[in-house]
Amino acid sequence: MVKKKKLRLSKSGKTITFIFLGIFISLALIGGLYAKTNYHYKKLGYKGLAITNIYKYNLKKLVDKEGHNKTLSTVLASKDYLDKNRDKYLSINYKEQADFTRHINELLDKGYKETEINDIIRTGTNDEVEKFIKHDYLKKVSDYLGFPYAKLSNIDRYYAYQKEEFTDNDETVVKVNIGLDLPLYDKADVITEDKDNVLANKYHQLGDTYIPNNLVDIDDKYCLNKNQRLVGIALESYLEMLNAATKEGLTLYIRSAYRSYKEQEELYQYYVKNYGVKKADSISARPGFSEHQTGLVVDVAVSKTGIFTETKEFKWMKENAYKYGFILRYPKGKEKITTYNYEAWHYRYVGVDIAKDIVKKKLTFDEYYVMYLDK
């Protein structure tokens, strides 16, 4: 019987084996640590290229310190990431835009500060920022864009209007947003579908198909003219207001409420025919530019004759209408903003909360709309 020889490694062979075993164990430990670290960054919200760049640019300490940072996560995941801008990225507020990282880089290259870049990106769409970048460098852009209601698309108009009118920064932004730097009726936005708190003026036109929802008939006993209609919620609030006024011995009637595009067109053409365009424009809105088409407006009166401003009802309306969600739409002294003559009888329903805020802030609806409602 032949005995099998045991395989014995030489001293050098044993050494090599231990070396390979050590390398294997080290790689396993490194791989495990790498996987654990990757999981850590994924849990923080960093993925793919972002994690690759964390290692590539040795940003582990920075990322661990910042934790989940949407801007950092986005720029690190972008092919446009530039390590030279790493600290500046952290001062930029995130906004979901297709070219977010590239835009930051290019704005920094143009000399804009991080605070200015925040205002530029916040106030513009991706396309608007792209267009702005092609613009020559503008000094002190945050003087205008720093206001929460500023629009990047209006930036050139802000500069031009202030240079011409010598208005302060806030006033400039508000007036330009209203459209007061443009010719009346020029390039008006056309609104075709009913929406809440709609603005109708000489820069925002209601299309000929615009019909408010929930128009309801008004009982003729509340009106000086028959066949009046109003949006339901506005009528409910008006009747509540009327009831309060009646309890104080006052008398109010609706002279005019909802008017369709066609009705406004007929009315305007009547004035044009009898008084000419200039006079017609001073006393009547062109079709589509009348608030009456919103179904949220009442022209009030005490009787078919008489001057409303000389009545107790007028004083009461000025002091109380806002409590029921109505505002004096074209106040005295604000003609340059509303572009309409003072109309003591014209009240617009905006809801109680907004009406109270408008009265508190002493604003017209045009100003309030561009500052707080235009999103």
Q: So which residues are the catalytic ones?
A: 343
Residue 254, phi then psi, degrees to nearest 5: -95, 120
Reference 88, options 127, 122, 116; nearest CA is 116
Residues near 358 by Cβ (< 8 Å), separated by ≥ 6?
322, 327, 350, 364, 365, 368
Compute the C-alpha angle 82/88/93, nearest 5°: 110
Alpha helices in 81-154 (DSSP H): 86-89, 100-110, 114-123, 126-133, 142-145
CB 260 within 8 A of CB 211: yes
Rounded distance, CA 318 to CA 353, Å? Answer: 17
Determine contact, residues 261/210, Cβ cutoff 8 Å: yes
Q: How far is CA 87 from CA 51, 84, 103, in A?
A: 17, 8, 16
Find how far residue 185's CA is from the centre of its chain: 22
* Nearest residue to 299 (alpha-carbon basis) of 237, 223, 362: 223
- Cβ burial of 223 (10 Å; 0-12, 13-18, 19+) is middle
Q: Which of 188, 217, 213 is nearest to 200 (CA)?
A: 188
CA distance 253 to 49: 69
239 CA to centre of own chain: 33
Q: Rounded distance, CA 76 to CA 72, Å? A: 6
| Residue 373: burial class (beta carbons within 10 Å; 0-12, 13-18, 19+) | middle
The DSSP output letter for 205 is: E
